[in-house]
Chains A and B, each alone.
Chain A
Amino acid sequence: MKLVSREADRLVFKLSKREHEALMTTLRLAPLFPRGESPISRDSTKLGEQVPSAQADLDEALADHRLEQTEAITRLLTDPKRCTKMGAGAWKLTLTVSDADRLLQVLNEIRVGAWEKLGRPDFEEGSRPEVTEENFLCFWAFQLTDVFEGQLLAALDGEEPESESEGGTEDDSDSESDSGSGPKPDPDAGK
């Protein structure tokens, strides 16, 4: 996935077929990683009687927000004017800055949800949960969201677009038989 043009509020990305599949699959995994809520305060006793209503307001706001964001991204990625199949199996994705920010949030929700399901490991501290059949989708989503988020952040941060002929997105588009990227995730697994 690479940024190929930037015009005013519009960011245009080119995705190879494999990247497009990976993005769509990652987004479909969202229901597998529901986020756990956490208290609005670490020391609720000091907030006193405001806590229950503040916590309820927060939980409701987050639930509504996640639903709205996911629906908006689903609409966007299934809109042929915004997500267009090009020659050789590649895809062109046109996002406004606000769409890019929304996609970033949705991907990050999946990333954090996958991490929570992995038991909240601290990779920096050397925690390395064993990859199992049950959790490999969590690792897969965790890694993929890292890649896509990095690209969106760079674009939102003002990264210069690459010309279409420059490297970055290898054209692996039509290689249906390509099995070099490991097992394909099954979105229904683990439900």
Chain B
Amino acid sequence: MPGTIEITSPEIDVAKDKKSKEADTPGYLVVCWNDPVNLMPYVTHVFRTVFGWDRTRAERHMREVHEKGKSVLVREQFEKAEFYVHQLRKFALHATLETAE
């Protein structure tokens, strides 16, 4: 058959690939903790402003903070997670940077 192309499958080192993916996985969590001072609509507003979320998503996280004491907002690489903590703290929310483990 004319034009036959021989295809060679790439050798995949599964173990190495898995290790590489783990290294790429964002390992830092931005957590917002409940406090009895920030108004609920304010917290929703801040989440929408900082993350650009729609109202539904922002309110879901706000309720989680209020009802469960905390909400994991995003999981990111260190620099980006740190950036979000800075933004949330600028609005006086109690946000911290935690490792995902």
In angstroms, Cα B96 to Cα A123, docked, is 24
- Please, which residues of chain A bring their CB within 8 A of the CB of B61? none
A37 to nearest B CB, angstroms?
9
Query: Size of chain B's interface in residues, with CB distance under 8 A?
Result: 24
- Please, which residues of chain A bring their CB within 8 A of the CB of B78? 50
B30-47, CB under 8 A of A: which get 1 and which 0?
Answer: 010100111101100100
A20-61, CB under 8 A of B: which get 1 and which 0?
Answer: 000000000000000100111111001100100010011001
The yes or no answer to B101 lying at the interface (CB within 8 A) is: yes
In angstroms, Cα B101 to Cα A122, docked, is 32
What range describes how many residues of A lie at the interface? 35 or more
Please determine whether B85 and A58 come into contact, CB atoms closer than 8 angstroms. Answer: yes
> CB within 8 A of B92: which of A40, A109, A122?
A109
Please determine whether A58 and B96 come into contact, CB atoms closer than 8 angstroms. Answer: no
Please determine whether A153 and B94 come into contact, CB atoms closer than 8 angstroms. Answer: no
Contact A46 B49, CB 8 Å, known A38-B94, A58-B85: no
> CB within 8 A of B101: which of A39, A46, A146?
A46
Please determine whether B98 and A41 come into contact, CB atoms closer than 8 angstroms. Answer: yes
B45-63, CB under 8 A of A: which get 1 and which 0?
Answer: 1000100000000000000
A→B interface (CB under 8 Å)? 35, 38-43, 46-47, 50, 54, 57-58, 61-62, 65, 101, 104-105, 108-109, 111-112, 115, 120-125, 146, 149-150, 153, 156-157
